[in-house]
Amino acid sequence: MNKQKVWFITGASRGMGQEVVKEVLRKGDKVIAISRNMQHTNNGDTENLLSLQVDITNDEDVKNAVKKGVKYFGGIDVILNNAGYYLAGSIEEINDEEFRRTMDINVFGMVNVIRHTMPFLRKQRSGHIINISSNMGYVGYANTGSYNASKFAVIGLSEALAQEVKVFGVNVTVVAPGMFRTDFMSEATLMAAENKIEDYYLDKHIDTLQSFHGHQPGNPAKLAQILYNISTLSTPPLHLILGKDSYESIIEHRKNETKELEQWKHLSFSTDFK
């Protein structure tokens, strides 16, 4: 019988995070469910669930949440950094505060969680950190620059972290989902830059994104099952692309990127001292 594990899940009150919480509890593991606004969840604290309202961008808040969770369950095994923030807008439109908020939630909040959970994983010489990026962490798109920047950072951060913690028996997986059928692109949750510039047609871009709502091809319940399953593997993947749309867009981008690099290789090779 597999050991009952303790999960620490951010962004746990809705969307993909909530689906993973349900799957993990269904499989008999325990969950420390972290959310900025717990009013969205119907889950009360139980023997296997501890729900905490936490601002992951606040380092002290995260530190206290980790301590509470470890005290409640006696340990911690799997970290799912799922909390995310999406802001539509061109680089020129997004102001300093808006850009920093994207990075604070998607990158620095994740780092806060890793910083305060790693001491426990390192001490026990085991664990699994799963970081949610996006296909937009591999491919840049117009009017998504701040989100692209944050999700590209998540991939680089995860690759570095994997090398740092492998010696401690801790695994790292960075996940790049495509479009999954959650409320991520709904009118209620989709945020846009306050300073819209007509030349960038941001309203049209937002209408396009919202048109996907309710029609996304990805099933979040299947994503949750996969994330649970890889948590049971001794050697899980470092990079995991989920969704046919995500896989195809990333592969096509890589092909075009390789072609461009080859085209300009003569310049790349021309800079060394002779």
Residues serving a catalytic function are 133, 147, 151
Burial class of 63 by CB neighbour count within 10 A (0 to 12, 13 to 18, 19+): middle
Residues in the chain: 274
Nearest to 223, CA basis, from 182, 158, 183, 177: 177
Distance CA 75, CA 186 (A): 36
> In sequence order, what E strands does the chain have?
6-10, 30-35, 49-53, 78-81, 87-88, 127-132, 170-177, 191-192, 239-242
Cross-strand pairs, 170: 127
Enumerate the H helices of 54-201 as residue ranges. 59-73, 96-103, 109-124, 145-165
Adjacent-strand bridge partners of 127: 170
